[in-house]
Amino acid sequence: MDPKSKSDLRIRVLGRHLPKFYSWFDDRRGREDSPWREFYEELVVTSALPHEKFPYIFHDYQGRIVDKIRYSPHANSLEVLIADIYELIPTGEQEQVLRDTLASSMTDIRWFTRDAIERRGALPGATSGTPIAEHAQKIL
């Protein structure tokens, strides 16, 4: 584990311990279960969004997606991906800041259409696109 992924939940569990892990995970006690840290580290600390406008966020839990167990070449083992999906509920001022990023030339924030996300960044007629991770489709 490196300092950057210190608070991320990436662990190895023997298959026979999966039911106990799922029970602990679902209970939510003793683990981070808010999107705030990721939002803050990715968008506020990097100055992509101004701290004075984003000292906090409101969000609404939309649900959980649990993928089937599959082999991961990256981890060189079987893995199960669990995604808790949250909707950002910005204040009026925060919404305006986000809208302003649409018209700006910022490279720290990119907005993508449903089509681009579904195609993982490969769009017809485009010579190159921005690669979009497969798990981004979970938000659609």
Each residue of 58-84: pLDDT tens digit? 999 999 998 898 998 888 888 888 888
Give the separation between CA 64 and CA 90, rounded to whole angstroms.
Answer: 21
- Domain spans in the chain, listed from the N-terminal domain onward: 3-89
Predicted TM-score (pTM) of the model is 0.77
Residue 108's closest CA among 96, 98, 120? 98
Most distant CA atoms of the chain, gap in Å = 51
Q: Given this model, what pLDDT does residue 1 score? A: 44
Sequence-distant (6+) residues with CB within 8 A of 72 are 78, 79
Would you say 60 and 86 are in contact if contact means Cβ atoms under 8 Å apart? Answer: yes
Q: What is the 3-state secondary structure (H, E, C) of 42-70?
A: HHHCCCCCCCCCCCCCEEEEEEEEECCCE
* 133 vs 122: CA distance, rounded Å: 11
Contacts of 136 (CB under 8 A, 6+ apart): 112, 117, 120
pLDDT tens-digit profile of 24-47? 888 888 877 789 988 999 999 999
